[in-house]
Structure 1
């Protein structure tokens, strides 16, 4: 059995469905979010992905939080890369999408691994989103933009803030879903309608 197969065997069918949904939602919302972010970042000469990335890095953190498994954010990012390459929609970098889309997931998982958390609190969710968006912004800059240092630092700063806010939003969504799930399980009649 290969390494990737052993990695996938840690995830239940439910986890894989959540991962696929988070990847699809992240890709589906991108064409709407990027033009809105470009309105703000265009005059500042900051790549719009640095600011908009916080919203779509939210899906990586949300996938990690809902499954509670190590490597979930990386898997969400990998599925996103494959979806973008297969469909050729907005944000496709060709075969380099495997790198530019997967690095943010690796960074989020690495941050969660080093802290020992699993999107259980605001700080770890903020950190995971921040690292994911900074990793994605740096990779896109490295591959395409090659910004000078000062604009790169400004871009990474915007990415850190928007990524952290996206992580906090993911934590709030996870918390609300857990409350809803716990409320439905504790009721003897099932979910309230």
Structure 2
């Protein structure tokens, strides 16, 4: 197959392995993070998904920042949705997982497209993770919850704060990985 015409032709094998690992880590950490967040948010009657989301959306922006290729966030979201559907892990979204996992990756990709030279700053990570988490929260609300606008505003604020923290963490991880010069 002609490399220019293939869907994944832009990525090296190393890139695809990193994307698979990051996608898997995102899915693997979700069952650990969500119950811990629910311990804190449950008694306050705050839906914990928006707050937990920043800590597992960080994997999407981490992948985008490390791979530095257009469409990486979308690809991570697609791989995560396939993993969730195939394994039956985490949640009752079913086939809607394709939407609820892919859209945050698309939105994070759009945030990172602002920087053409691929020299991402901490703000790219913060806004990318915030946008991904707010998108995930909005999609979950649209598909499943349909909360009133006042509650939704509070939820989006929580999602933005959590996303900002996740973006900071992702930025620091990428800086550490880049300082180790792991690219093959």
What interval of TM-score do these two structures reach, taking the shorter chain for normalisation? Answer: over 0.9
- The Cα of 1:6 is off from its aligned counterpart by 3.4
1:129-148 superposed matches below 5 A: 129-148=129-148
- Structure showing greater radius of gyration is 1
CA distance in structure 2 between the aligned counterparts of 1:36 and 1:116, rounded to whole angstroms: 38
- In 2, are the aligned partners of 1:112 and 1:119 still within 8 Å (CA)? no
| 1:118 Cα offset (Å) | 4.1
Q: Are 2:151 and 1:151 equivalent residues in the alignment?
A: yes
State the SS of the aligned residue for 2:114: helix
**TM-score scaled by length of structure 1:** 0.88
* Structure 2 counterparts to residues 16-165 of structure 1, below 5 A: 16-116=16-116, 118=118, 120-165=120-165
Q: 1:119 to 1:34 in 2, by over 3 A?
A: farther
Q: Which has the higher contact order (CA 8 A, sep 6+)?
A: 2
Structure 2 distance, partners of 1:7, 1:157, is: 36
d(CA) in 1 for partners of 2:167, 2:92: 23
Contact 1:119 1:171 in 2 (8 A): no
Q: In 2, distance between residues paired with 1:121 and 1:164? A: 13
Give 1:40 deviation, angstroms. 1.7
Distance 1:149 1:119 in 2: 37
Shift in Å, 1:48? 1.1
Runs of 4+ in 1 over 4 A off after TM superposition: none
Q: Distance in 1 between matches of 2:145 and 2:119?
A: 32
Q: Is the alpha carbon distance of 1:85 and 1:120 closer, same or farther for their aligned partners in structure 2, counting shifts above 3 Å?
A: same
- SS of 1:95 mapped into structure 2: helix
Is the alpha carbon distance of 1:56 and 1:117 closer, same or farther for their aligned partners in structure 2, counting shifts above 3 Å?
farther
Superposed displacement of residue 115, structure 1: 4.4
Query: CA-to-partner distance for each residue in 1:124-166, whole Å, 9 max, x for gaps?
Result: 1100000000000100010001110011111111101111211
